[in-house]
Structures are given as C-alpha cells and as structure tokens.
Structure 1
Amino acid sequence: MLANISVGGQKNMTLNEFPIRNAGGVLSRIVGNAWRRCGIGLVALGVAGCAVGPDYQKPTVEIPATFKEGVDWQRAQANPQGSLTSTWWLAYQDDQLTDLIGKALKANQSIAQAEAAYRLAQATVEANRASLFPTVTAGLSGSRTGVGAGAVGSSTTATRAGVSNSVNANVAASWELDLWGEIRREVESSKASAQASDAQLAGERLSISATLATDYFLLRQDDFDIESLKQQQHIDERILDMTRAGFIQGTQSNDEVLVAQDSLELVIADLQTTQTAREQSEHAIAVLIGVPPGSFTLTPRPDYAFVTPVVPLALPSQLLERRYDVVSAERTAAAANAKIGAAEAAFYPTLDLSAQGEFQHNTLAHLFSLPNRIWTLGPDLAATIFDGGARTAAVREARATYDGDVAAYRGTVLSAFESVEDGLSNWNHLQQQEQAFANIYQRNQQLFSSEHAQFQVGSASEQSLLTQQLTLLQAQQNLKDTQSSLTQASVTMIKDLGGGWQWDEAQGGAVSTGAPSASGPKADPSVTEASAH
C-alpha cells in the first residue's frame, strides 16, 4: 500500500533569473491534478479504520479471597500498567542505607542495561508509528557532459559533439496506506512490549534495592556476631587457661582441658566464617553501587538496632497486580495478541498508489512550462494467491505464541501468590522465634546477674561466672540474628508485594503503614562489657 509522488526537473538559475511564482503555480497544478486523479486513494483511506485480528482482552486469572497465612486479600480495580515508584527503604530509618540505595539506583550496571532495553523498546514504538505517516524526500543533482568530435562516431547512440548541462531537482512523497491495520497492530504490539520493558526496568530497580538492603542487614548482623564471637573467644581463652591450671593442680581432668580447647577452636572457626561473610557482603554492596570492592569500606556497627516496618492486616490487590513480573508477563501477552492481527493482514490484498510529475528540457529558461511536463498515474493492486501455507503458518505461530504468553502470565501470577504466602509464613514464624529468643535472653540476663552477685560474695567461682556469661552472649546473638532475619524477611515481603505494603491512590505508589519499631528488647550493654574479676 504505497502512494508515491515525485517531481523532478532541471534548474541552474538564480532567484532573480527565474520566474519562481509561475513555476510554483505550474508545479502545484501538476501535483494537484495527480492527487485528484487518485480517487481510489480516498476510498482506501476511508476503509483504513478497520484492523483485522482479535482485540485484546486481559486473560482471566483466579484470585483468592484471602491469603492462607493470615493477611486479608482486598479485591480492587487492577492496574496492570501501573509502574513502580516508591521509597520503601525509608521505613528502616537508616540514612546510610538510603544513601547506598540512592547510589545503586544511579550507578548499577544491571539497571543501566534494563534502562537501555526500555529506551530501545520506546524507539521501536516510534519507528512503527512513523510508518503511519508519509515520507517526504528531496534531491538535487547536476552534471556537465562534454562529447568530442572523435567520440561521436564510436558511440552506439546518436550523439552530437559539444557540451551540455543538466540539473535535476526532485521531491518525492511516499505513503503506505494501512488498509487492514497491519501497521496499527505492529504499533499496538510494540507499545505493549515497551510497557513490559518498563515493568522490567522497575523490577530491576526494585530487585537491586532489595538485594542491597538484604546484603546491608546481613553485614550489620555480621558486625554484631563478630563482636560477640570475639568476646566469646576471649572468655573461652580465659576458661581454657583456668582449666589447664586446674589440670596441673589435679582438680580437673585432661578431658575437661580437651573440651575447653574444642570450645575455643569452634568459636575461632565461627569467627572466621562470619568475617568472611561480612567481607563478601561488603564486596557485594560495592558492586551494587558501581564501585570496585577494593576501594569500598563500611565502618562496623556492632550496636546496630534493626528496625522492622509493621505489616498491615489487609493488603489491596494492586500490590500483586503491579509486581514487575506480573505486569511484564501481562503486557507480553498483549503484544503477542496484536501480532496475530499483523499476521492475519497478510491474507488481504495490498494497494499501491503512485503518482509522478516531472519536467524535462535542455534549457533552464523554458524548463517549467506545460509542454515540457511528464506525468504518470496508476494504482497497483496485488494479492498473494499461493505461498505454500506460509501465511497460515505465520498466523498459527502468532496464536501459539499468544497462548504460551497467556500461560506464562497465569503461571507468573500463581508464583507471585506463592512467594507472598512463603514470605508471610516466614514472617509469622520468625516473629514467634524472636519472642522465644527474647524470653531466653531475658532469663539469661537474670541468671548472669545472680551468678555475678554470688561471685562477688564468694559463693560462685570465676569459671562458672564466665560460663554463664558465654551462655548470655550466645542468647543475645541468637536474638540479634533473629531480629536481622526478621528485618530481611520484611525486605523480601516488600519485594514480593511489588515495593511496599499499601497502594497510595494519591501518590500512585506504595507507602508503608504504621510506625516502624525496633525488633525485640534492647541489648544489655553489660553483656558486651561484663568480665569476671
């Protein structure tokens, strides 16, 4: 479906030497007459509103009324194209974490790659949309040809000796009429693909920020564990010295010395493992923010207090409808549906409209005159009669692709519900675990205080006090590790829900509900500083 108009001619004069107004009038009449003879083109434009192929309907998905693990599921109007923009990490009240995530969102290479893919998808939409509009080109050429007297006789055509000039100026316009909506279906498909790419970009940003937050909280957990293990190592070394002294004095056996040695070595081994994990978390954070690991260091904070946002009792449906993988899968299915119409359009005939006007003369002064005009006009209607089933196969391929994308979309929604259910289950049990470790820690604080009081009055040995201090340190470490796991679980839930707890209709993004609070009771400073005297 091509409409083409070109006007060519020769010109080699200045504006003062050539009657521009007359030439413009002649040129306008030539082009106007050509288009007036293209009545069939108007008919084509009249039917260009139709587009073959199925119109897209969002695939149906079964949505449960509630979550199994205790959070109500509130049905709401779906927003499959809702992009994700939120600052959920502010709920953790850590300026250093906020700064790191800000750096990662600007410098991370995975985000840069996803952003480039989105810009590529946008360019594809623009390229497809441009096919709906005319294309106009212009050209100017000139030549000077000389033929000698001796060359005339050797020429195969009639040629006269002498010098001739030729200047050609032409303007051409072409337009593909979208009779059956093939181009519009391609635009529809590319727009849906761009929306899927946009969702993937948002998902990459969410994934990077959530990964950084998780690595950061792991690092802060390691900070505390390293400090606690160092204290335990110091205490185990003291107990080993006392046990060896008792063995020399005959009050303790060699087996007790071996047990004390094993306890010390286990703490040393755990310390090495924890230090390795801390260093690797620091390296991972450096890569996420786009800097070499060798030039990046985070100062240890063994007294770090983990903060966990409050999970609401009800969640609106947009939280899963806007998940980047769900949005991307749904938009991919929409793009595949539009491809069906583009494939079906190949069964219909194509109509090419062409019109051309031209002036030819051997002198510039008389170039633009009616006797020198040349014009052609004619439609070209073409249809494929036999192609060996290629078009049918293309339609079947498009439909199969669409069916596969619909299945992928439904599977993605199911996986989204699964991840949320897993996250809620983990959250519920970690809360109970935290409470249990908090109770153990509080009882061991009481036991240590009692043992310390007995040691001061001489009714308890230093070794028994050190042993009780070890138990208290281990209880505190268990509590702190669980608090870290609970904070990391909240990050995972935020990621699984698409970037926040609640959909803010005014902001068009996610916000957290409830004031964040520190997990569990405060650690007793005396535990980290206590020593037997």
Structure 2
Amino acid sequence: MMKGQRGPWLVLLFSLGMSGCMVGPDYRRPTIELPQGFKEGAQWQRAVANPQGALDSRWWLDYHDPVLNELMTRAAQANQSIVAAEAAYRLAQAQVAASRAGLWPTVSAGLSGSRGVVGSSSTGSATSSSTSSSTSSASGTSSKSVEQTVSATLSASWEPDLWGLVRRGIESSQATAHASDALLAGVRLSIGGSVASNYFGIRQLDIDIRLLEQQQRINQQLLDMTQTEYTQGTASNDQLLVAQDQLTSVVAALQTSQRSREQFEHALAVLVGVAPAQFSLAPVDSFAFNVPATPLSLPSGLLQRRPDVVAAERAVAAANAKIGVAEAAFYPNLDLTAQVGYRSSALGGLFSVPNRIWSVGPALAETLFDAGARKAAVSEAEANYDQQVANYRGTVLGALQNVEDNLSALNHLQAQVQAFQQIHQRNQQLFGSQQAQQKAGTVSLQAVLTQQLVLLQTEQNLRDSQGQLTQGSVALVQSLGGGWHATGDSTAQPAPAK
C-alpha cells in the first residue's frame, strides 16, 4: 500500500478500536427496601414461598368454569385495549430495529447517464463571403459538439459509534420495548381480571335475583293473608302497612339487582369486544363459587411478577441509557465515506479498468459552541432518570399496598363466609322446626313463611359473601402479577406475555 493511501485506513482501524467505548453510566437497578413478608399474610405464608412459582398465564382455568374460559378467550382475541397494547409493543420492537440499524454502514448504488450539446467559440479575423455556406462573425467562429457520460457507482457511508451514542440508544429502545411488553401483559391481566370479576358478579346477581323473587312471592302471600285478616278485623292497619312495606322493599331490591346485572352484562360485552346489544349471558339459578388456592409469594417476587413494576423498572433503564446518549454529544463525530464505480463516455466499455473511479475519506466534526444546549440535555436526562426512579419506587410501594389490601379482604371475607354459613345452618334448623310444628298444629302458616323469609335472607348473605370471596381471589391474582412474570435477570427482556 502506498504511503499516501494509509491515512484513511488508519482512521478506519482507529475508529473500529474506539467503537468499544461508551460514555454514560452503566445501568444498575435501583435498590428498594422490601419487608420480609406481607403484614396481612401471616397464615397465607406459612409454607416456603416460591416467587417464581406458578401463577400461570391461564390462571382462570383453576376456577373450572367453561363459560368463563370461553369469555377469556374471546377477550384475549377481540378486546380493543389488548389490540392497542399489542400494536404499541410492535411499535417498540420496530424502534429497537431502527436503533440497531445505526451500527451499520449505509450502502447505496447508482446508475446514471447523460447526453448533451456542448458549445465552444474561438476568435479569428473579420472575413465575409457571399458564396460561402459557413457562418462567421466579426469577432470569431463558434462550434457545437455532443457529449455523453455513463457512470455506475457504489457508495458507502458509516459513522462509527465511538462514544456509544448508538449503543446507548439501543439500550434505551430495548428497555422501552421491554416496558411495552410488560404493559401489554399488564393490560391482558387487567382485562382478564375484569372479565372474571364481572362474570362472577353476574353469577352472584343471578342468585340474588332468584332469592329475591322467592322473597317477593312469600311477602305477597303474607300481604294477602294480612289483608284478609285486616278485612276480618283480626289484624291492625299498622300490620297491613308493615306487610306492604316489606313487599315493596323486596321489589325495590329486586330492581336494583336486575339493573346491576344488566350493567355487568354490558361491561362484559365490551370486554369481549362486541356491542352490548349483540351479547347476552343466560342466567344460572344455582352456581357453585370456587376459590382456588393462590400460589404463595413474597414481597420480592412482585419485582419480577407484576407487569406494572417491571414496566416501571424498564423505564428507569431506558432513562439511564438516555444519559449516555446526551453525554455522547460532547464528543466529536467521525464520518467515513467510500465510493467505487466506473465512468465512461460509452456504455459498451463502461466496466473496464481504465474507467474505474474510487474515493475514500474520513470527516471529523465537533460542535464548538451551542450556548449550553448539550449541558442542558444532560441535565434533562438526569432529571428524567431521577423521576423514573421515584416512579419505580412508588409503583413498588403501591404494589405492596395492593397485595396487603387484597390479603386483608380475603382474610375477612373467609371469616364472614364461615359466620354466614353457621347462621344459615341454624336457620335451616329453625325452619325445619317451624314446619314440624305447623304440621302438629301449634304454629301458624304465617310463622312458617316468616321463618322461610329469614332463611332466604341468610342464604342470600352467604351466597353474596361467597361471590365476594371469589372476586377477591381474582383481585389477589391480579395484585400478585398472575399470568406473567419476567426472568430473574432484571436487564433481560421479560418473557413475552401469553
């Protein structure tokens, strides 16, 4: 290689060596002080917890309800919030690909041809002739010629990532894509939880409506009997008014339950991606609520399991990388360009050695004065990082509170179910006793019907508390991040949401 040709190649080798440098801080996940266990989960955490344990992406299968399974499938395919979140994740992936493209040179090819007339003039003596066909002037003569040029070129330009500007940008876009993936999982978990909660709410209202309709019939019987007794003079007007109020109260409660069921059904229709007018769910008179066992967990598991926590942590990583992007602006940019090709006046002999052309050369650029713009950009990136760290820690605290709230609710709901179960069992015995006494002729039909009303009310309380307990278990699955969790490495991409 000739001495004059070594310069560009030395610059290229130097740039390749320097491309391993990266300015800006390397990412470390912010530290957070976590409790050893949940305050409200003492009984729940007796066994050894496994933060990586199963809260499967199809957690609703543990409720063993085919209708719920079908609704979950429909929501996953057609819910518009999930569709929008999936599109946002694809956008984030495309941005990662665009960032990675900055590591590679840009190569372009060109083929061009031109043909034109070129004029020239020369000075001479002033002559004229009337018989000559040539055109002359007092000042000189002019002539024209046709020229053509054909060229084929291949060009390449590359800006080596000397200071990690591109690589920090890739880090930022990758972290953003990870956060988008976590947000997609969070939307799926939220929609799935809403579907399950609305579905169990509808089943709870189905039971309420059945029991209230039975109460309405019994109250109507009691009112008819009281009306007869009032006509006969054996019942007072006050007793008649009380009987009327009891019937009206049940009718009002029945309307409230029917309205709530219709609204739950409308909400469920939107969750599965159809208009409310195109969706209906047949009522079920008898429904068995099933509360599956929830996998044990520890507070530290929320950092890996909950989509919102993972998304907040990935936002911190993206903000950290942007500091390096801002700091890289303080360093010079090196641009390497090269071109090789052929140029000739005729297409036939274009690709021959004598017609070959080439050029290569570096260009170094540095900003000397920007009135503090780069410094301000670094300050902005650092402030954004601090903000994302605070948001991340706040998200973790909110997640801990969410789990504690749901554990507390489940603890009290379980005790409430047991209490209502005992009350219901006692009233079943009382109702049986009243029926036996009526057959013996020692108790009136009114007393039996009144006791039956009490029995229906205790059953309604029991079934309502069972429905609330089932919905509470769904809320706990959501608060634990059920259905999705990241890998153990906080810097790695979370497992795609299923």
TM-score range, shorter chain: 0.7 to 0.9
| Amino acid across the alignment from 2:450 | T
Structure 2 segments unaligned to the other structure (5+ residues)? 121-134, 489-493
SS in 2 for 1:190: helix
Task: Check if 1:254 corresponds to 2:246.
Answer: no
Correspondence for 2:113: 142
Decide whether aligned partners of structure 1 residues 450 and 244 sit closer, same or farther in structure 2, where only a CA change above 3 A counts.
Answer: same
Decide whether aligned partners of structure 1 residues 41 and 75 sit closer, same or farther in structure 2, where only a CA change above 3 A counts.
Answer: farther
Correspondence for 1:197: 180
Alpha-carbon offset, residue 462 of structure 1: 1.1
| Amino acid across the alignment from 1:391 | R
Match of 1:56 among 16, 27, 32: 27
Match of 2:101 among 120, 130, 134: 130
2:362 & 2:486 partners in 1: Cα distance?
56
| Amino acid across the alignment from 1:411 | G
SS in 2 for 1:307: coil
Correspondence for 1:286: 269
* CA distances 1:305-342 after superposition (whole Å, capped 9, x unpaired): 00001246664742453200000000000000000001
Correspondence for 1:217: 200
2:16 & 2:229 partners in 1: Cα distance?
104
Larger mean CA deviation between 56-65 and 129-138 belongs to 129-138
Task: Check if 1:309 corresponds to 2:292.
Answer: yes
SS in 2 for 1:141: strand
Larger mean CA deviation between 489-498 and 126-135 belongs to 126-135
Give the conservation status (yes or no) of the 8 Å contact 2:150–2:343: no
Task: Check if 1:270 corresponds to 2:267.
Answer: no
SS in 1 for 2:283: coil
1:291 & 1:121 partners in 2: Cα distance?
28
Correspondence for 2:152: 169
Give the conservation status (yes or no) of the 8 Å contact 1:217–1:487: yes
1:466 & 1:172 partners in 2: Cα distance?
95
Larger mean CA deviation between 496-505 and 245-254 belongs to 496-505
Give the conservation status (yes or no) of the 8 Å contact 1:73–1:316: no
Task: Check if 1:117 corresponds to 2:88.
Answer: yes
Identity between Structure 1 and Structure 2 (%): 56
Correspondence for 2:36: 65
2:195 & 2:314 partners in 1: Cα distance?
28
SS in 1 for 2:158: strand
Decide whether aligned partners of structure 1 residues 428 and 504 sit closer, same or farther in structure 2, where only a CA change above 3 A counts.
Answer: farther
TM-score, normalisation: structure 1? 0.82
Correspondence for 1:25: none
SS in 2 for 1:306: coil
| Amino acid across the alignment from 1:379 | P
2:172 & 2:346 partners in 1: Cα distance?
53
Task: Check if 1:493 corresponds to 2:476.
Answer: yes
Correspondence for 1:13: none
Correspondence for 2:452: 469
| Amino acid across the alignment from 2:171 | E
Decide whether aligned partners of structure 1 residues 379 and 174 sit closer, same or farther in structure 2, where only a CA change above 3 A counts.
Answer: closer
Match of 1:408 among 383, 387, 391: 391
| Amino acid across the alignment from 2:188 | R
* CA distances 1:167-219 after superposition (whole Å, capped 9, x unpaired): 33221112120000000000000000000000000111111111000000000
SS in 2 for 1:308: coil
Alpha-carbon offset, residue 145 of structure 1: 3.7
Structure 1 segments unaligned to the other structure (5+ residues)? 1-28, 510-533
Correspondence for 1:5: none
Task: Check if 1:45 corresponds to 2:19.
Answer: no
Alpha-carbon offset, residue 365 of structure 1: 4.7
How many residues are treated as equivalent by the alignment? 470
Correspondence for 1:520: none
Correspondence for 2:321: 338
Decide whether aligned partners of structure 1 residues 206 and 344 sit closer, same or farther in structure 2, where only a CA change above 3 A counts.
Answer: same
SS in 2 for 1:384: coil
Task: Check if 1:186 corresponds to 2:169.
Answer: yes
Correspondence for 2:432: 449
Give the conservation status (yes or no) of the 8 Å contact 2:50–2:296: no
Give the conservation status (yes or no) of the 8 Å contact 2:36–2:299: no
1:309 & 1:433 partners in 2: Cα distance?
18
Correspondence for 1:516: none
Decide whether aligned partners of structure 1 residues 310 and 355 sit closer, same or farther in structure 2, where only a CA change above 3 A counts.
Answer: closer
Correspondence for 1:417: 400
Correspondence for 2:334: 351
Decide whether aligned partners of structure 1 residues 378 and 314 sit closer, same or farther in structure 2, where only a CA change above 3 A counts.
Answer: closer
| Amino acid across the alignment from 2:444 | S
| Amino acid across the alignment from 1:129 | R
Give the conservation status (yes or no) of the 8 Å contact 1:134–1:174: yes
1:350 & 1:126 partners in 2: Cα distance?
22
Give the conservation status (yes or no) of the 8 Å contact 2:104–2:158: yes
Decide whether aligned partners of structure 1 residues 224 and 83 sit closer, same or farther in structure 2, where only a CA change above 3 A counts.
Answer: closer
Give the conservation status (yes or no) of the 8 Å contact 1:34–1:377: no
1:451 & 1:247 partners in 2: Cα distance?
24
Give the conservation status (yes or no) of the 8 Å contact 1:306–1:484: yes
Correspondence for 1:514: none
Correspondence for 2:369: 386
Alpha-carbon offset, residue 141 of structure 1: 2.8
* CA distances 1:201-260 after superposition (whole Å, capped 9, x unpaired): 011111111100000000000100001111111111111111111111111111111111
